[in-house]
Structure 1
Amino acid sequence: MTTAAAPEQLKGEDWAGEQGRKWLSHIDRFEGMIAPIGDALLAHAGVTPGERVIDLGCGGGLTSLALAEAVGPDGTVLGIDISPDLIAEASRRAEGQANVRFLCADAATVTPEDAPYDRLVSRFGSMFFADPHAAFANLHGVLKPGGRMDLAVWGPPRDNPWMMELMGVARAHIDIPSPDPRTPGPFAFADLDYVRDILAHAGFSAPEVETYQGEQAIGGPGALPEDAADFALASMAIGRALAEAGPEVLEAARNDLLSLFTRHYRDGEGVMMKNKVWLLSAVA
């Protein structure tokens, strides 16, 4: 059996480069897949008219645009992302919107010239910092005293069958070593004690956690099992690891993914798999 790097350690997490381009190539499917979580985050955050908000890891800008609508003409939204490709797409989508703008930068170190802001919101954009303690100390500095931060981050892998079952398929064909659970990547903040420690060291207080549990449509709402399998292999780090093992391994894994997704397919909805997300809040 071929041994591959753990997906969290692959270059697929290089959002400034390859991973940003992959997200853009499949942006409608990615956004459709996590849209219900984004809606839950915005409802949890409760941004109000007139507030100045940073959207951390803004991606293609849909959350930024929703925040811009919430803050209204008297508020402003700054979307920050390290991917120039995604910032270009976000800027295109927001053309004509006077209260939203975008900045291509590393949020771990950047201080926007018009800081501090009232609020910071992030939908899955906060788990990839190489040095999260330093990064969140910097984020604390871009918020006003008493400013609120709201994050959506994945809960434990075991509570996210959409990922665990995909990993199970991959591990049936290639040997993927288990990474350090705190390695920067999708599940880096699954351990709430670890997150609370990071926030406390950065100067944040009053941390609160709300649990979101639901289902997400792999490959987007309405995707057929074939579409979902091709999406997973083309856009996720396990796809590259399987491809590097050779075409026969890749084809066998695709067949297993197809079987998995067929079991979870619901007509008119798509390939629906369970998830668990932490909605984290803290005060600067």
Structure 2
Amino acid sequence: MIQKLEQIREEQRESWNKFSSGWKKWDDLFMDFLEPMGNEIIRLLDLKSKDIVLDVAAGTGEPGLTIASQINNGYVIITDLAEDMLAIAKENASIRGINNIDTIACDVSELPFGNETFDSISCRFGFMFFPDMTLAINEMVRVLKPGGKIAASVWNVPDKNFWITAIMGVINKNMEIPAPPPGSPGMFRCAGDGVISDLFLKAGLQKVSVREVNGKLKCVTAETYWNVMTEVAAPIVAALSKADAGMKEKIKKEVLELVNQKYPKDGVMIDSSALVVYGQKA
């Protein structure tokens, strides 16, 4: 892997490890938020009881743990770049009494598995952050058995994801945040028409399909929304770290006002939109 990609990988590993405690704190909230996308991934994979499944960029363990609970005679390898996130996944597995899993910290671009090892591969919200998405999908295809299936989710366009644009929009309005280079890892990198489906097709996958799936981030209050986003989202924390106390307070005030204005009555239940893509190896 070229030096630039290695640098991005190491920065990402450090970041996800750093924020693992925040993800653990808000795990129930986020797993509820992301469950519809995980359920669609599982539906598309059409799992069999003896399947061997790879869950890539699984973070605190989903959808790998749910998959493991559904394939009693099968096995799930749960992978992520960040060891501290996988430690939470192991803890979650223990709490739920799920024994047919293993966790391995590894880079998706250099998967430590033999060719044609897995019946299915899941990847919920990983692709947008992979340093090289082509390397990633090619590695997934390499370790997939002939006829095996891949299903992954990525975030849809910003206009359909107020849960992230609310706070980032206010930050960008108040601070000069340098725009990342085109095509670099980021939340909406795969949101454009055909980005994720073309990636699958170019990797040789067949029966490629894309479906929109919606979720709700059930924060209930704007204050909880602020706390959640400033404890789990690395880009937000990085941006706010460059602001003085007065600017941080101004940004927080404007975010709370914006969220309360949009959700004045029934509590802060923020809609989201994702794309779930599917492909099958010949």
TM-score interval for Structure 1 and Structure 2 normalised by the shorter chain? 0.7 to 0.9
Match of 2:85 in 1: 86
- Cα–Cα, structure 1 residues 67 and 206, in superposed 2: closer, same or farther, change >3 Å? same
Post-superposition shift, 1:97? 3.1
Return the match for 2:256 from 255, 258, 263: 258
User: What is the CA deviation profile of residues 100-156 of structure 1, one whole-angstrom value per residue up to 9, with x for unaligned ones?
Assistant: 111111111113259510000111122211111122111110100111000011112
Which contiguous aligned blocks of 4+ residues in structure 1 show a shift greater than 6 angstroms?
none
Post-superposition shift, 1:41? 3.0
| Aligned pairs, number | 268
Match of 1:185 in 2: 186
Q: What CA distance in whole angstroms lies between the structure 2 residues aligned with 1:203 and 1:114?
A: 15
Match of 1:55 in 2: 55
Q: What CA distance in whole angstroms lies between the structure 2 residues aligned with 1:195 and 1:12?
A: 21
8 Å Cα contact 1:56/1:126 also seen in 2: no
Q: What CA distance in whole angstroms lies between the structure 2 residues aligned with 1:45 and 1:279?
A: 12
Post-superposition shift, 1:98? 3.1
Match of 1:3 in 2: none
Which segment is superposed worse, 131-140 or 236-245? 236-245
- Cα–Cα, structure 1 residues 160 and 97, in superposed 2: closer, same or farther, change >3 Å? closer
Runs (5+) with no aligned partner, structure 2: 1-7
Q: What CA distance in whole angstroms lies between the structure 2 residues aligned with 1:49 and 1:182?
A: 39
8 Å Cα contact 2:37/2:276 also seen in 1: no
Aligned partner of residue 270 in structure 2, secondary structure:
strand
Aligned partner of residue 170 in structure 1, secondary structure:
helix
Q: What CA distance in whole angstroms lies between the structure 2 residues aligned with 1:128 and 1:172?
A: 24
- Cα–Cα, structure 1 residues 133 and 39, in superposed 2: closer, same or farther, change >3 Å? same
Match of 1:19 in 2: 16
CA RMSD of aligned residues (A): 2.5
Q: What CA distance in whole angstroms lies between the structure 1 residues aligned with 2:232 and 2:49?
A: 36
- Cα–Cα, structure 1 residues 110 and 13, in superposed 2: closer, same or farther, change >3 Å? closer
Match of 2:128 in 1: 127
Post-superposition shift, 1:13? 9.5
Aligned amino acid, residue 196 of structure 1 = S
8 Å Cα contact 1:81/1:105 also seen in 2: yes
Post-superposition shift, 1:70? 1.5
Q: What CA distance in whole angstroms lies between the structure 2 residues aligned with 1:54 and 1:12?
A: 20
Post-superposition shift, 1:163? 2.1
What TM-score, normalized to structure 1?
0.84
Match of 2:4 in 1: none
8 Å Cα contact 2:64/2:76 also seen in 1: yes
Match of 2:173 in 1: 172
Aligned amino acid, residue 50 of structure 2 = G
Q: What CA distance in whole angstroms lies between the structure 2 residues aligned with 1:148 and 1:57?
A: 17
Match of 1:232 in 2: 229
Post-superposition shift, 1:275? 1.6
8 Å Cα contact 1:181/1:187 also seen in 2: no
- 1:281 paired with 2:251, answer no
User: What is the CA deviation profile of residues 14-59 of structure 1, one whole-angstrom value per residue up to 9, with x for unaligned ones?
Assistant: 4411223314423324333323332333334332322111111111
Post-superposition shift, 1:249? 0.7
Runs (5+) with no aligned partner, structure 1: 1-10
Aligned partner of residue 212 in structure 1, secondary structure:
strand
What is the percent sequence identity of the aligned residues? 26
Match of 2:195 in 1: 194
Q: What CA distance in whole angstroms lies between the structure 1 residues aligned with 2:13 and 2:280?
A: 29
